[in-house]
Amino acid sequence: MSVGDDTRLAIVVPTLLPGLRYWAPYVEMLQQQGLQVQMFTAIPPEERVHFPIRVVKGWWIPLGTGHSTRGITIMSPRLIAELLRWHPDVIMAIEYSMASVWCILAARMSGRRLFIYQEHRNQEELPRMRRAYRRRIVTLADGVIANTLAAHDEVVQTLGIDTRKVFDIPILTPPSQEVLRQQPVVLESPKVRPLFLYVGQLIPRKNVKTLLEAAHVLRRQGLEFSVWLVGDGPLRQSLEVARDRLGLRDTVRFLGPIPYSSTGFVYELCDVFVMPTNFDYRCVAVLEAMRFAKPVIDSKLDGNAGDAVRHGDNGLVFNPASADELAESLARFIKDQFLIQEMGGRSAQIMADQSITRALAQLTHLIRASGPEG
């Protein structure tokens, strides 16, 4: 069977609210190859899409209190009927939610193959019950697609799964530098270096205020540097007020939103990327900055921390609840700017083998081999 023989791939993602920045290129390229792709989700993305998305009823259950958006999405068991109605040849379920359980049942009822997709390694040690639950799901599936080597190691070492069932395919890969530099943008060079960059929404979850507080700590120590904030959101005005109150007008600059196809020019100009988030499943901007050979100061609550961002190797990982700890991380690059080149080079090495084209070839090969005639 070839990928051009109308092979059907169902991709089940409980929520697409974080967006389709990484999924869209793959789905569109797979469609260009003749593959039929249908995404199933409980929460659709806010942006407009150019490929089929089927919304299945679901519920969002927040975890914790305050401004954090951590939570779980539970898809209705109606997903089973929706999958059976569409008749996919291969099902790819994201991670280990209840949606994956429904996918297992649909695959068993239809005689189709199912792969679990694991994006990154769990940040904390898996509790015994959760470890047993994940192992059971993987045992019932036909295999695991590991997005990173850290995810591969967790599946093999922690869950005890045979390596023959694990397929290393970095699906969620940042685009090439050329894609992020398609639309030129005029930027003035910072007056003071190093330049620390943040790219993202100005919302409570992203915790940008802690970055301002850390910058204030360092300015009081007499250290000089620049901070650029790219993005917009409901907190922009209050953050600008906080910047001025902290005496950071000459240090911190709000650039506002920049087209996605122009962000590469900002990544290229900065020295160090900073992500102070209170929670991100796997922050896209972190990986994009690494594509441009930048070291990263990453919150331990970002899914990249300890995986793509390795403390002391290509960046530093810190506790986002502590402005002082973030300030210490910033200060290391200010006082020893050799680290910028050294750690940035390691970021480039980590991203060197990750390309959409290569991952697409691996994914299509797996799908072709897994179809009903494979």
CATH of the domain at 19: 3.40.50.2000
Look at residue 3 and tell me if it is in a domain: no
| Tokens representing residue 352 in the block | 């060197």
> Of 55, 60, 101, which is closest to residue 82 (Cα–Cα)?
55
| Tokens representing residue 258 in the block | 């920049």
Look at residue 2 and tell me if it is in a domain: no
pLDDT tier at 1, thresholds 50, 70, 90: very low
pLDDT digits (tens, 9 = 90+) for 212-261: 999 999 999 999 999 999 999 999 999 999 999 999 999 999 999 999 99
**Region 104-118 average pLDDT:** 96
Look at residue 142 and tell me if it is in a domain: yes
pLDDT tier at 70, thresholds 50, 70, 90: low
Do 167 and 249 share a structural domain?
no
Q: Are 370 and 40 in contact (CB under 8 A)?
A: no
Do 223 and 135 share a structural domain?
no
pLDDT digits (tens, 9 = 90+) for 323-357: 999 999 999 999 999 999 999 999 999 998 788 88
Q: Which residue has the higher pLDDT, 65 or 191?
A: 191
Do 64 and 195 share a structural domain?
no
DSSP 262-279: GHHHHHHH-SEEEE--S-
Q: Which amino acid type is present at position 211? A: L
Do 136 and 96 share a structural domain?
yes
Do 192 and 224 share a structural domain?
yes
Look at residue 195 and tell me if it is in a domain: yes
| Count: domains in the chain | 2
Look at residue 261 and tell me if it is in a domain: yes
Do 184 and 151 share a structural domain?
no
Query: What pLDDT, on the 0 to 100 scale, is given for residue 68?
Result: 46
Q: By residue range, what is the domain housing residue 84?
A: 8-173+355-370
Query: What pLDDT, on the 0 to 100 scale, is given for residue 4?
Result: 47
Query: What pLDDT, on the 0 to 100 scale, is given for residue 165?
Result: 96
Look at residue 121 and tell me if it is in a domain: yes
Q: Are 19 and 48 in contact (CB under 8 A)?
A: no
Do 164 and 185 share a structural domain?
no
The overall average pLDDT reported for the chain is: 90
Residue 71 has pLDDT above 90, yes or no: no
Query: What pLDDT, on the 0 to 100 scale, is given for residue 123?
Result: 64
Lowest-confidence region among 56-70, 289-303, 310-324, 327-341:
56-70
Lowest-confidence region among 167-171, 191-195, 209-213, 297-301:
167-171
Global confidence as pTM: 0.79
Residue 67 has pLDDT above 80, yes or no: no
Contacts with 189 (C-beta within 8 Å, 6 or more apart), sequence order: 269
pLDDT tier at 285, thresholds 50, 70, 90: very high
Distances (CA, A) of 121 to 124, 160, 307: 9, 14, 7
CA 82 to chain centre: 27
Q: Where are the beta strands (DSSP E) in 165-212?
A: 166-168, 195-199
> Of 63, 10, 69, which is closest to residue 41 (Cα–Cα)?
10
Do 286 and 240 share a structural domain?
yes
**Region 85-110 average pLDDT:** 96
Q: Which residue has the higher pLDDT, 74 or 313?
A: 313
Do 339 and 201 share a structural domain?
yes
Q: Which residue has the higher pLDDT, 61 or 84?
A: 84
Look at residue 320 and tell me if it is in a domain: yes
pLDDT tier at 131, thresholds 50, 70, 90: very high
How many Cα atoms occupy the beta-carbon half-sphere of 229 within 13 Å? 27
Query: What pLDDT, on the 0 to 100 scale, is given for residue 116?
Result: 97
DSSP 240-256: HHHHHHTT-TTTEEEEE
Do 359 and 348 share a structural domain?
no
Do 119 and 233 share a structural domain?
no
Query: What pLDDT, on the 0 to 100 scale, is given for residue 143?
Result: 96
Distance CA 303, CA 309 (A): 9
How many Cα atoms occupy the beta-carbon half-sphere of 260 within 13 Å? 12
For the chain, give the percent of residues with pLDDT over 90. 69
pLDDT digits (tens, 9 = 90+) for 13-57: 998 877 777 788 788 888 888 889 999 999 888 778 788 899 999
Do 13 and 81 share a structural domain?
yes
Cα dihedral 290, 49, 360, 106 sign: positive
Residue 204 has pLDDT above 90, yes or no: yes
Look at residue 215 and tell me if it is in a domain: yes
Distance CA 341, CA 173 (A): 23
